[in-house]
Amino acid sequence: GEQVEQRPPHLSVREGDSAFITCTYTDPNSYYFFWYKQEPGASLQLLMKVFSSTEINEGQGFTVLLNKKDKRLSLNLTAAHPGDSAAYFCAVSDRGSALGRLHFGAGTQLIVIP
């Protein structure tokens, strides 16, 4: 089955610096990719959903990169601020997955130092 590996497990950056998180996956049929943000004590909030057909996706203060050849999904938080401090999870699903099952990475705990 699908295996999703997320690195690093912990990341500290200074305010204004970039924070880079990467996931690798194993199933070449993977088609949908997600990044979730979880603030302390809170639930998971969907940051971005990307499709296999799009390699670069930009959101509010972040960029998601998809490299299908290397089976790698990345999240780059540009100019991080303390409000970005949270846990971040990638998730992967394939187009044929029954019921849209997601496979999650283990998460990255990000701390942004003021």
Partner 1 sequence: EAAVTQSPRNKVAVTGGKVTLSCNQTNNHNNMYWYRQDTGHGLRLIHYSYGAGSTEKGDIPDGYKASRPSQENFSLILELATPSQTSVYFCASGDNYEQYFGPGTRLTVL
Residues 6+ apart with CB under 8 A from 25: 2, 3, 4, 5, 71, 72, 73, 92, 103
Which CB atom, from 19 or from 103, has the smaller least distance to partner 1? 103
20 in contact with partner 1 (CB under 8 A): no
Which CB atom, from 4 or from 19, has the smaller least distance to partner 1? 4
84-113 residues near partner 1, rule: CB under 8 A: 89, 91, 93, 97-102, 104-107
44 in contact with partner 1 (CB under 8 A): yes
| Integer angstrom CA distances of residue 47 from 32, 37, 42, 63, 99 | 13, 6, 14, 11, 21
Residues 6+ apart with CB under 8 A from 7: 21, 22, 23, 108
Q: Given the structure tokens 């029954």, which residue do they identify?
A: 98
Which CB atom, from 28 or from 40, has the smaller least distance to partner 1? 40
22 in contact with partner 1 (CB under 8 A): no
Which CB atom, from 81 or from 95, has the smaller least distance to partner 1? 95
Binding site for partner 1 (CB under 8 A): 1, 4, 6, 9, 32, 34, 42-44, 46, 49, 89, 91, 93, 97-102, 104-107
